[in-house]
Chain A
Amino acid sequence: MAYQDEITHMDHGELEALQLYRLKRTLRECYERIPFYKKSFDDAGFDPSSVKTLDDIRRAPFTLKQDMRDAYPYDLFATPLDQVKEIHMSSGTTGIATVSGYTDHDLKIWGDCFARGIGYAGGNEGDVVHICYGYGLFTGGLGAHYGGLASGTTIIPMSAGNTKRQINILRTMGSSIICCTPSYAMHIADTAIEMGLDPKKDFPNLKAGINGAEAFSDQFRENLESKLGIKVYDIYGLTEVMGPGVAIECAEQNGLHIAEDHFYAEILDPKTHEPVPDGEWGELVLTTLDKEASPVIRYRTRDITRLIPGQCACGRTHRRIDRLHGRTDDMMIIRGVNVFPSQIEDICAGFDEIADWYQIELTRERGLDVATMKVEINPGFPIDEVRRIEDLQHRLKRALKAELNININIKIVEPHTIERSTGKAVRIVDLRE
């Protein structure tokens, strides 16, 4: 039995009845307790008491990231501050941070959601969960921590950074599940290999990784799995809605099960805002169903994914979203062409000669966009001949041009010149005015 199997295997009809009950309650509470929602519902002519089916949510207005920034710090809380036990904030790299509050109840359901993921990854009492997501305002570290507590596993709260120490702990403390961003997991693996270790053998108990918070390609996952000798489980979440655990992959590795008892997911065409059919790509829009302090209605996540039709072979009934295809705001527009970092990563994955690190720099020269991709080459590549390096550059450039129909300059750089990140990898540097 894995954690909360009874919920993850619930009959879907019953689940929908539970969702509708909770949705109505959340809409009512938002309307009554949060002036922003009272105004936005009234402005849209949306009466929360008129909701009779789950589809009726389509009449409700969206919540945007900017609405959350405007509400800084506490204007979107539905409970008085004395009931809020913890605060998290999004990174706020592009503006004012967004704030999320958690009551005791909210912290418990967060732990439950993440703990289900630990169960999906085969974790139980006796497992040692090595958490090297950053602890702090970022939801990664503490989200995993509450999941570890709920699941009854043993937690090593490493936080991110000090990679050599992470490696030492992984070798000696019996860590069996590693929780961090996929790029940091890769950095740990590469560093261990550079130290002359074989993580497959030298991290003796490691069996699984719960690695999310950024999009990564299937090829990147396969590399990570083979370097560490583990199975990697993708996890999705965001501070504005809760944190990691909104959706988590099971051992089938065929989509992430949404915690549907707590979140209602829609996939919409990002331009028309109309729902797309199951199986088609669009923007994920989320509504919380059971949160007290920071409920959110129809939050536009900007994340591109799709609902995977049909039931998962694992037997769980909660619907699945596909692994993220990128973000609507990570999407680069290069000379008028829409490009997602994941497309570039998929192409790079076809080249054994290049390492897992790359970065795209966008500049503007004489009014035209110029994209330059820096790549590191693997140690085995024969660097002695300019011809071989140029050949690699040409083949990579041709492959990118064939797929994306734009020219991307390829710049081969020395090892370790692309900055390794302990959090989310910096794949794009936009220097355009």
Chain B
Amino acid sequence: MIDQLTVFLENTPGRLTALCKALGDASINMSALALADTTDYGIVRIICNDPVNAAKVLQAEGFRATTTKIVAVEVPDEPGGLAKMLHTLDEAELNIEYSYCFLDGTTGNATVALKTDEKAIEILEAAGYRVIHPADLYKTTK
């Protein structure tokens, strides 16, 4: 599973900028950022190189930051590509807490981040999907 950087942010002006600046100053490069927003706060989910260190850097800056285990899987960048992969998980009766996608321009595939059970890895690999391992991802996001 991949370590995703998760940050709790209050909905106040400049907070997201402050977060990104802190990561930039620590030479952390992001390959994906998804923001779940509510009236009062947002939860920022980030795929980046060195997420464990990124969380420490942010904590030291006063952010509530942590890492969360997620599954990242490649799907073909074509109509119906995502639906087909999700169907595989549905059949195995796995729930998805949340998901977001990002494109890696070099492979022609999309990467899907999934907060779901660890069992998904086995199921997806059995169905022929390439599940991304930390070493792959952190390397590609340098």
**Contact residues of A with B, CB < 8 Å?**
377, 379, 382-387, 389-390, 411-417
Contacts and interface: CB of A to CB of B under 8 A. Distances in A.
Interface in B29-44: 36, 38, 40-41, 43
B62 A385 contact: no
Most buried by A among B40, B43, B98: B40
B40 A414 contact: no
Contacts of B6: 383-384
Given A385-B115, A386-B38, A387-B97, 10 more contacts: A379-B64, A384-B6, A384-B45, A385-B98, A386-B36, A389-B43, A411-B40, A413-B41, A415-B64, A416-B62
A384 B115 contact: yes
B102 interface: no
Contacts of B7: 383
A416 B41 CA distance: 15
B141 interface: no
B66 interface: yes
A230 to B, nearest CB: 28
List the 4 shortest-distance A-B pairs measured between CB atoms, nearest first: A383-B8, A384-B68, A384-B6, A411-B40
B109 to A, nearest CB: 25
A412 B41 contact: yes
A414 B10 contact: yes
Contacts of B97: 385, 387
Given A384-B68, A385-B97, A414 B9 contact: yes
A384 B40 contact: no
B64 A383 contact: yes
Contacts, number: 44
B63 interface: yes
A13 B10 CA distance: 61
A185 B36 CA distance: 37
Nearest to B15: A414
A191 to B, nearest CB: 13
Interface centre among B9, B41, B45, B63 (most CB of A within 10 A): B41
Given A411-B40, A412-B41, A414-B10, A384 B66 contact: yes
A163 to B, nearest CB: 15
Given A383-B66, A384-B115, A414 B8 contact: yes
Interface residues of B, number: 19
Nearest to A412: B41
Contact of A414 (B38, B64, B66): B64
Interface string B93-108: 0000110000000000
Contacts of B41: 389, 412-413
A411 to B, nearest CB: 5
Given A383-B8, A414-B10, A377 B43 contact: no
A413 B41 CA distance: 8
Interface in B68-123: 68, 97-98, 115
Contacts of B66: 382-384
B40 A383 contact: no
A351 to B, nearest CB: 17
15 contacts: A377-B8, A379-B64, A383-B8, A383-B43, A383-B64, A384-B45, A389-B41, A411-B40, A412-B41, A413-B41, A414-B8, A415-B63, A415-B64, A416-B62, A417-B10
B126 to A, nearest CB: 27
Interface in B10-35: 10
Most A Cβ at <10 Å: residue of B8, B36, B63, B68:
B8
Contact of B62 (A377, A412, A414): A414
Nearest to A410: B40
A289 to B, nearest CB: 51
A256 to B, nearest CB: 38
Contacts of A384: 6, 43, 45, 66, 68, 115
A288 B27 CA distance: 66
Nearest to A376: B64
A417 B68 CA distance: 24
B1 to A, nearest CB: 13
Contact of A377 (B10, B36, B64, B115): B64
Contacts of A389: 41, 43
A412 B40 contact: yes
A415 B7 CA distance: 12
B10 A413 contact: yes
B63 A414 contact: yes
A379 B59 CA distance: 10
Contacts of A379: 64
Nearest to B45: A384
A411 B41 CA distance: 9
Nearest to B39: A411
A385 B66 CA distance: 12
Contacts of A412: 8, 40-41
Contacts of B63: 414-415
Contacts of A382: 66
Name the residue in A382, A383, A413, A415 with the highest tally of chain B Cβ atoms < 10 Å from its Cβ: A383
A257 to B, nearest CB: 42
A390 B97 CA distance: 14
B18 to A, nearest CB: 11
A415 B66 CA distance: 13
